[in-house]
Amino acid sequence: MEFKIEVNDKFITVNEGDSLLTALRSNGIKIPTLCHMNRFSATGACRLCVVEVEGKRDLITSCSYPVEEGMKVTTNSQRVIQARKTLVELLLSNHPDDCLYCTRNGICELQWLAAEMNVKERKFFGEKNIHHPDYSSTSIARDPAKCVLCSRCVRICEEVQLVTAIDFISRGNQTTVNSAFNKGLNVSSCINCGQCVQVCPTAALTDISHVEKVQAALGKDSKKVVFQVSPSALASFAVYLNMKIKDDPQGIIVSALKKCGAAKVFDLGFAIDLNIMEEAQTLVSILKEKSGQKFPLLSSCCPAWVRYAEEFRTEWLPMLATAKSAQQIMGTLIKSHYAESSGINSENIYSVTVLPCTAKKFEASREENTHKGISETDAVLTVRELFQLFRCYGLDIGQLQAEKPDQPYNRSSVAATEAGYSGGKAEAVAREVFRMLGGKPEDFRFTIPKNLAGKKETKISIGDHQLGFAWVSSIKEADDYIAMLLEEERDDIHYIEVMACLGGCAGGGGQPISRGFEKSIARKKMCMEMEKQNQLTFASENPALLSMLKSKKVFSDQEKVSDWLKTSVKKA
């Protein structure tokens, strides 16, 4: 039901049940917030959204107060403005003064609020709390000194990712957001998804940066630094810079990385195609009862999801696909196939992936992903870090001439780009399965709804088979869905694509910081635009991949490649 309320001497129409903040914002009235997150319950923690309501003695927090018929609200009185300013001054009084050296300088919500409230000097002096930063994780750095206790990270970690790796500890002015027993994040149950980094308004949570070590490698004559850029990182790069497909974002990234000193720049989509072929093959093997595995097959390319299953759902591990992730396939190829074919000692190759994912840093560091102490992947740059690298080298992106990615891993199919958003990989795997079981490519139908929320299922029919595919994003959605499927003993779903980040990699923890889901949707749309330009629909039609698989001698040192990759080579 709609009704009117009076705000700053004007009447506005509001919906019953809405919070006052929602009502004000949907009527174009600007209200500052810090702890508020759309779709999450209000906590009233920061009090920045305060307004005056006639008849109330105290200022009220608009994010946690519902609209009431007949209410009279003032959002811009002296009392309100001064209260908000004092709140920001208090936050700053316990905040380090190191904006110049801070990774969030310029994209910090506390800085923006200070500027908006016209805060020009430190007003409150006192002993600051002493906090120690935590760099123990492979992916996420924590600096509690910069925390404003908004609880956004705590809520996303608990409510969306079901992990609760971080929470409030201690009381009063000693309160901090910390991992259990104040131990490092490395010994917590953190799955490295980076969703907390995405929602943190300050630099209290950031990447464990690999920019410096990549720069150091680029500066060494003895090292050949090779980059692999994922299609989802390309889409993100294009959206961030407002580029169109015709501007050739891939060609521009290749050119930029070459200017930084890259020896080669490969298309990581090449390995995504391989991963999709392998998962499709596994599904067909289960179907033909050639494998001991049971349905549903759960995708395993998202390292945060794999980590969650290892930590919290060990009983589901047998359902996980055994294919390596694209990052690790590419790392293996580069340090074996590429090293051998180009006559370079693999120890002199420094392999860097570029993805919108913080958990890939963790994946690259796993012991299983090293061979005789040498990492398959030496460094992982998130899209944020890619931009940082380009800034360090003073590149003017607008002036660069596009260059083509390097052979032999220079092409990828539509399937590789589809893997960049929730539902896309399920479609790509379904398409391969459809073809493997004799379906005609032109008869393949698979519809993914345009929005990013909610679990999705679809069925495809091929001959006597009817196969069910599902896709879920966020750990909560995945956990709820898989548990429901098993509890109801449903046998109509054969493959589930699981992505830990909301919306899949389009909402990845390593994407440029942006509040809300609009940018994720824009990145998904960009992926779809990229797909329209790509004539190569099937992963298994990738000519660069086929030519590698057909070459008589792909690897001479078979120990360097993982079991499944050997299997793929044999299959070809």
Residues engaged in binding ligand FES (CB under 6 A): 33-36, 44-49, 61, 63
Task: Pick one of ligand SF4, ligand FES, none as the site partner of residue 196 (Cβ within 5 to 8 A by kind).
Answer: ligand SF4
Q: Is the CB of 147 or the CB of 263 nearer to ligand SF4?
A: 147
**226 forms part of the interface with ligand SF4 (CB under 6 A):** no
Residue 551 in tokens:
């070459």
Residue closer to ligand SF4, measured from CB, 147 or 414? 147
At residue 51, the 3 state secondary structure works out as strand
Reduce the DSSP state of residue 550 to 3 states and report it: helix
Distance CA 178, CA 185 (A): 9
Cis amide leading into 408 (omega within 30)? yes
Q: How far is the CB of 43 from ligand FES (least distance, A)?
A: 7
Nearer to ligand FES, 109 or 479 (CB): 109
Nearest to 332 by CA among 228, 202, 230, 417: 228
Phi, psi of 243 (to 5 degrees): -90, 155
Question: Among 23, 71, 166, 349, which residue sits at the site for ligand SF4 (rule: CB under 6 A)?
Answer: 166
- Partner whose binding site includes residue 494, from ligand SF4, ligand FES, none (CB under 5 to 8 Å by kind): none
Number of residues that bind ligand SF4 (CB under 6 A): 28
**What's the closest the beta carbon of residue 11 comes to ligand SF4, in angstroms?**
36
Report the residue from 201, 296, 503, 507 that binds ligand SF4 according to the rule CB under 6 A. Answer: 201
Of 312 and 555, the one with the shorter C-beta distance to ligand SF4 is 312
Judged by CB under 6 A, the residue of 71, 91, 102, 196 near ligand SF4 is 196
Other Cβ atoms less than 10 A from the Cβ of 224: the count is: 20
Tokens of 555: 């690897």
Q: Are 50 and 61 in contact (CB under 8 A)?
A: yes
- Binding ligand SF4 (rule: CB under 6 A), the pick from 7, 21, 92, 147 is 147
Q: 217 in helix, strand or coil?
A: helix
- Comparing CB distances to ligand FES, the nearer of 48 and 357 is 48
Q: How far apart are CA 377 and CA 271, in angstroms?
A: 13
- Identify which of residues 165 and 274 has a Cβ nearer to ligand SF4 in the complex: 165
Would you count residue 507 as binding ligand SF4 (CB under 6 A)? no
Which among 21, 20, 7 is positioned nearest to 54, based on CA atoms? 7
Q: Does 205 bind ligand SF4 (CB under 6 A)?
A: yes
Q: Which single residue is written with the structure tokens 């969030």?
A: 104
Rounded alpha-carbon distances, angstroms, from residue 376 to 13, 279, 350: 59, 21, 9
Are residues 134 and 187 in contact, defined by beta-carbon separation less than 8 angstroms?
no
Q: Name which of ligand SF4, ligand FES, none residue 48 binds, using a CB cut-off of 5 to 8 Å depending on partner kind.
A: ligand FES
Prior bond of 144 cis (ω within 30°): no
Instruction: Confirm or reject binding of residue 140 to ligand SF4 (CB under 6 A).
Output: yes
Minimum distance of ligand SF4 from residue 126's CB (angstroms): 20
Find which of ligand SF4, ligand FES, none residue 254 binds, CB within 5 to 8 Å per kind.
Answer: none
Q: Binding ligand SF4 by CB under 6 A: which of 46, 157, 235, 302?
A: 157
* Binding piece for ligand SF4, criterion CB under 6 A, among 186-194, 440-448, 484-492, 529-537: 186-194
Count of CB atoms within 10 A of residue 86's CB?
15
Whose Cβ is closer to ligand SF4: residue 75's or residue 176's?
176
Using the structure block, give the residue that is written with the tokens 């180009």: 342
Contact flag: residue 152 with ligand SF4 (CB under 6 A): yes
The DSSP symbol for 28 reads T
Distance in Å, CB of 108 to ligand FES, minimum: 17
Shortest spacing between CB 189 and ligand FES, in angstroms? 27
146 versus 411: smaller Cβ distance to ligand FES: 146
What is the per-residue DSSP string for 267-284?
ETHHHHHHHHHHHHHHHH
69 vs 16, 20, 61, 75, 388, CA distance in Å?
8, 11, 17, 17, 50
Question: Which one of ligand SF4, ligand FES, none is in contact with 166 (Cβ closer than 5 to 8 A by kind)?
Answer: ligand SF4
From ligand SF4, ligand FES, none, interface partner of 355 (C-beta below 5 to 8 A by class):
none
State the binding partner of 455 from ligand FES, ligand SF4, none, CB within 5 to 8 A by kind: none
172 Cβ contact partners less than 8 Å away, ≥ 6 residues apart:
none
Please give the Cα distance from 568 to 572 (Å, whole number): 6
State the binding partner of 195 from ligand SF4, ligand FES, none, CB within 5 to 8 A by kind: ligand SF4
Do 51 and 20 meet the contact criterion of CB atoms below 8 Å apart?
A: yes
Residue 404 DSSP class: P
By the 8 A CB rule, do 44 and 63 touch? yes
Burial class of residue 13, CB neighbours in 10 A (0-12, 13-18, 19+): exposed
Choice between 82 and 105, CB closer to ligand FES? 82
Q: Which does 36 bind (CB under 5 to 8 A by kind): ligand FES, ligand SF4, none?
A: ligand FES
- Residues at the site binding ligand SF4, with contacts judged by CB under 6 A: 140, 147-153, 156-157, 161, 163, 165-166, 177, 190-196, 199-202, 204-205
